[in-house]
A and B are shown apart, each in its own frame.
Chain A
């Protein structure tokens, strides 16, 4: 069956541009997570949705980062006025149940963002 998909797979943006990254979770999955993985590092949590509700956005590094999941399915991570430090791979993950620490999170292939 279809897994988590993300688009685009690669994005090059000039400093100051806005970007939008899309995540299509596995159908029926309630929970959706965004993570940021800098080069040579482990992924770091950005934000969490339960259906359409954004329950945790404690990991968003600045107010230039915004995420939404308006219908409880597809999610978009938007970065305004991109900076070089935003260059990273952005990973999306979904899980079937509520975020409780035990459900497996299924990861997409990621979007590699390069800010020049």
Chain B
């Protein structure tokens, strides 16, 4: 089965320090990969997506992610955390030619940002 694994359920950083949220996916087919953010009591918002173009993808709010096929990874990074980044982050995979394009979510990583 196609799947995505987020390696940390909770990450805590200090404001102004780098953020790293880790994600690995299964590699049966060429995937599209996404990171979504979910703030409390708000809808899911797309941060960025990879769809077989450039392997380094830049998203909103200073986030970026690098697609590494050899490692089957799609880790999310940000150079300097801000208090407003505190939220739940989901790594998501979609397979064009299998699964019908539906999104398959990881379990989520809760990011806490300390002042």
Contact = CB atoms under 8 A, between A and B. Distances in A.
Contact of B102 (A3, A40, A99): A99
Contacts of B102: 33, 45, 48, 56, 59, 99
A35 to B, nearest CB: 8
B99 to A, nearest CB: 8
A44 interface: yes
A9 to B, nearest CB: 10
Contacts of A101: 31-32, 51, 94-96, 101
Size bracket of the A interface: 20 to 34
The listed residue with most A CB atoms (<10 A of its CB), out of B94, B102, B108, is: B102
Contacts of B51: 101-102
Interface residues of B, number: 24
The listed residue with most A CB atoms (<10 A of its CB), out of B43, B96, B101, B105, is: B101
A1 interface: no
A40 B90 CA distance: 12
B44 interface: yes
Nearest to A6: B43
A107 interface: yes
B96 A100 contact: yes
Given A102-B32, A105-B103, 19 more contacts: A3-B43, A33-B102, A33-B103, A41-B107, A42-B107, A45-B104, A48-B100, A48-B101, A48-B102, A55-B100, A99-B102, A101-B51, A102-B49, A102-B94, A102-B96, A104-B49, A107-B43, A109-B42, A109-B43
Closest 4 CB pairs of A and B: A99-B101, A42-B105, A101-B96, A101-B94
